[in-house]
Structure 1
């Protein structure tokens, strides 16, 4: 219950930053030809030109290394007990539902909010359970915070857990980065694979 309370307060804080400035259709509207993502095109965030350490073993820039027309970015951590697994599973499932052309135009990037534990190896093992093509990013705390701030994502280390370790509270949106390194849309954590697949198909057609 305490964990859910922390996540609820964090979500409220993120929403207060203006993530819901634009109205959107319900996520149950998949298949009607309209996007179900939250539209923030009027206040689209500019992706920070920060470089992090990628699971590929190379430096990865959120602006220079995102070469595909669409990039999905999610902030989370390997030891996340529930939401991160659900979101990453839904993203992976969505990409199995779309045409090959759509899949080829989408890159998925997972940015850790727990760099103390999430090194390249930990991220690679974690993301490999969902899709080995997903790119994981880690690094020093300051560049990671700079990246998070660019997406208006709040995150902080929580209290120690009874069984050891600790929790990390963080924003749970799936962000879309376009070819101009802007973030025009995001999806909520409970967006289904079917809805995400429908939206990605529409967005690739428009790109």
Structure 2
């Protein structure tokens, strides 16, 4: 059967008082967006098209496994680059592929020298099914430069918490379907190692490209 995905979103309390912004939706196909009013800069004040965080989120200092089976230090590999991190899964029927397609489109809109300073990292929230080859083939459909990361459920959960992104472990239902809950924001970690901006579901590629130019 097809897996079922639900979206969870809320402000995630962090030990260092980091606020997170995410999208709330009850079904993957038709997200209803409720933007939290805490821990963000008002759209009138912000220069970004995405959601500017009042309290930037540090990039998680974690080591996961890339889709080639090699250890991947997220913080170390982000040094000197604008790193766009998304937590999702390849069996997602709409939100995850749409986001990857939007990021790929946005990157095609920016100059080559700016593009060279940007990397996209996809962290699976469904590690049992998202093996390295599965992620590599799936991400390659959008952009072969996209990086896929995996780990144990506990490792992914820890990375997501540090990135202020809500996720829940996959749940298998009696009918064989799988529920995979995760926040839908793209975290844009700048060269300073902080995410000042997140893009929620539905932000247009041209607006993402606008922000990338400012952040790079």
- What is the Cα deviation at residue 130 of structure 1? 0.3
Q: Find the counterpart in structure 2 of residue 58 from structure 1.
A: 70
- Distance of 1:165 and 1:81 partners within structure 2: 13
SS of 2:77 mapped into structure 1: coil
Deviations 1:77-124 (A, max 9, x none): 010111001100000011111110111110100001011111111110
Deviation at 1:159, TM superposition (A): 5.1
> Which residue of 2 is the match for residue 29 of structure 1?
none
Larger fraction in helix: 1
With normalisation by structure 2, the TM-score equals: 0.80
5+ residue gaps in structure 1?
Answer: 27-32
What residue number does 1:25 align with? 43
Once the two structures are TM-superposed, the CA of residue 203 in structure 1 deviates from its matched residue by 1.8
| Aligned length, in residue pairs | 190
Task: Determine if the alignment matches structure 1 residue 98 to structure 2 residue 110.
Answer: yes
Residue aligning to 2:211: 199
Gaps of 5+ in 2: 14-18, 22-35
Summarize the alignment of residues 1-207 of structure 1 with structure 2, pairs less than 5 Å apart: 6-7=6-7, 10-11=8-9, 13-14=10-11, 18-19=20-21, 20=36, 21-25=39-43, 34-40=47-53, 42-156=54-168, 157-158=170-171, 160=173, 164-204=176-216
Q: Which whole-Å CA distance do the structure 2 matches of 1:190 and 1:139 have between them?
A: 28
- Give the whole-Å Cα distance in 2 for the aligned partners of 1:79 and 1:177: 26
Is contact 1:161–1:167 with CA below 8 Å preserved after alignment? Answer: no
Query: What is the SS of the residue equivalent to 1:22?
Result: coil
Q: 1:39–1:120: structure 2 CA closer, same or farther, 3 Å change rule?
A: same
